[in-house]
Amino acid sequence: MAFAKVSVIGLGYIGLPTAAVIASRGVEVIGIDVSEKAVDTINQGKVHIVEPDLDMVVQAAVTMGKLKASLTPEPADAFMIAVPTPFKEGKKPDLSFIEKAANAIAPVLEKGNLIVLESTSPVGATEKLTAWLQALRPDLHFPGHSSQEPDMYVAHCPERVLPGRVLEELVSNDRIIGGMSAECSDKAIELYDVFVRGNCLKTTARTAEMAKLTENSFRDVNIAFANELSMICDELHINVWDLIALANRHPRVNILTPGPGVGGHCIAVDPWFIVDSAPDTARMIRTAREVNDGKPGFVIDKIEKAADEFKRPVIACLGLAFKPDIDDLRESPALDITLKLAQMGLGKVLAVEPNIHELPEKLIAADIELLPVESALEQANIVVVLVNHKQFKGLDKTQLNTKVLIDSSGLIA
C-alpha cells in the first residue's frame, strides 16, 4: 500500500470523520489535535462531536488499533490538514491555523511525503502552505519553491460534505484535487482512491481553492434571494411560505427556504474570501453576504415589537445550531439572535437546543436558560422558531395559539 500511515491534523467536524473512514479501510491513522480533551475522548473510542454513526466508526477503528489521537505529530506517509480557516477583523482570511499546522508537522516530514490541505481556503493558500514548509525544511524540495526536482507533494482537496451526512458523503461525493503540479495531483488522487467511491477530479491548486468558494458563494447568493424575498413579503403582508410554494411549481424555479440568516463555518465565511481577493469585482457576492448578515437584525426587530405587548416577556428561542439536526453552533445566526435578545434586556430568554447538553459560556453569562421544548413552551409568551430541528416538527400547534409566534424558518407554515 502506497500509504501505510496517514496523519490527519485537526480532529473536528471534518478531520475526525476523515480519519475514521481512512482507518476503516485498514490504514494506520494518527489524528493530531491541540485539544487534550478531544485526544483523550477519541483514544477511548468515543467522539466529541455529533454526527450520525461516527461514534461506531471511531470505536471500531480505535478497537482495531488503526486509529489513535495525539497532541504531537509523528512521521507518516501523508498529512491531511483539516484545521479552521475563519476570518479576522475586516473580513480578512485568517490562515494562522494552517501556518500552525505547518509548523507542527514540518519537523517530522520526510522525503516523498504528501501534504494535502483540506481546509477551505482563499485562492493562494496552498502556495503559502508550500512556502512555509519550504522555509521550515530547506533540506527538502517542495514544488514551486525549489530550484531542484521536488521530492515532496502538496495538493489542495477541499471538503464538500453536509453535516449530518458526513460519513456517507466523504465516500460518495466527487472530490476536486488540485496539486501544486500534475505529479502532486496524481499522488493525492492515490490517497483519495483509498476511501472515495466518487470521481477524483484533477485540476490545479488555485482552481480547487476557488471551486469550493464558488460552491458556497452560489448557495449564499440563492439563500440571500430567499431571505430578501421574506422581508419584502413581510412588508407587503404576503405569506412568503405560500408564495414560495406557488412559485416553485414553475418547472425551472427552485427558491430556497428563508431563515434567520446564514451560519456555519462555510457559507457564512467563504464568500468573504472571494470578496477579499477581488473586492472591486465581487459585487453580487458581497451584496448577498450583506443581505444574509442583515437578516438576524430583521428577526430581532420583530421580536422587539412583540415584546412591547407584554409586561413580562418570556421569549423561547427554538434552536441554536446553524442548521437543523446538528450540534454545530459556529457562526450561527440563531445563537447570535438569542444572545442579542438577552443583552437587550427585552425579557427572560429561554433557549431550546436538543442537540447540546450545555450552553456556551457567553449565553450562560447572559442569564439564558437551556430548557426542553415542553418546559420552554409552558413558560413563554413569545415563541421564536430559529431552526427546524426534527424535535420541533411534532409540536402540538394548539400550544402556540395563546402565544405570539415568530417563525423565521417556516416550521409552522
Placement of cell 467563504 in the chain: 270
**DSSP secondary structure letters along 221-246:** HHHHHHHHHHHHHHHHT--HHHHHHH
Cβ contacts of 354 within 8 Å, gap of 6 or more: 372, 373, 389, 391
Cβ contacts of 164 within 8 Å, gap of 6 or more: 51, 52, 324, 325, 326
Cβ contacts of 158 within 8 Å, gap of 6 or more: 118, 119, 120, 121, 176, 208, 209, 211, 212
Number of other residues whose CB lies within 10 A of the CB of residue 335: 27
List 79's β-bridge partners, or say none: 7, 115
Distances (CA, A) of 46 to 15, 37, 38, 50, 324: 15, 11, 9, 11, 23
Please give the Cα distance from 184 to 174 (Å, whole number): 18
Q: What count of Cα atoms within 13 Å lies in the side-chain half-sphere of residue 83? A: 23
Among 157, 184, 200, 266, the one annotated catalytic = 266
SS3 198: coil
Longest Cα–Cα distance of the chain, Å, equals 76
The three grid cell numbers given for residue 156, joined into one nine-digit string: 489542495
Among 66, 187, 202, 212, the one annotated catalytic = 212
Contact of 102 with 128, CB cutoff 8 Å? no
Residue 212 is among the residues annotated as catalytic for this protein: yes
- Burial class from Cβ neighbours inside 10 Å (0-12, 13-18, 19+) for residue 169 reads middle
Please give the Cα distance from 17 to 51 (Å, whole number): 9
Please give the Cα distance from 26 to 352 (Å, whole number): 41
Distances (CA, A) of 187 to 116, 135, 210: 10, 22, 21
Query: Catalytic positions, please?
Result: 212, 266
